[in-house]
Amino acid sequence: MDEVKERDQVKDTSALWMGWIGVAAGIVSFFYAPFLFGAAAVILGLITVFSKANGLGWWAIVLGIVGAFLNVIVHGVRFW
């Protein structure tokens, strides 16, 4: 029983790493390869949302979507 409690108290560091990488990919999508990095941010954000780092995952998703669509509005459709 103590082992189960210890597992619940330990933070899921892999989710935190994926969340921060997703946020970084979302920021990069504003400047370079909006669909590639925007999609990576959304996918990593979805993975992170379903783990323990819920808020960080939503930030990654929002940054990925906004970065891709804002780049389309400003520059037109470009995939690189």
pLDDT tens for 26-80 read 999 988 888 899 999 999 999 999 887 888 999 999 999 999 899 888 877 766 6
Q: Is residue 7 assigned to a domain?
A: no
Residue 38 tokens, joined: 């925007």
* Tally of domains in the chain: 1
Per-residue CA distances from 2 to 5, 12, 43, 45, 51 (Å)? 5, 18, 34, 31, 22
With tokens 């669909």, the residue in question is 35
Q: What is the pTM of this model?
A: 0.78
Residue 2, domain member (yes or no): no
What residues make up the domain containing 42?
Answer: 13-75
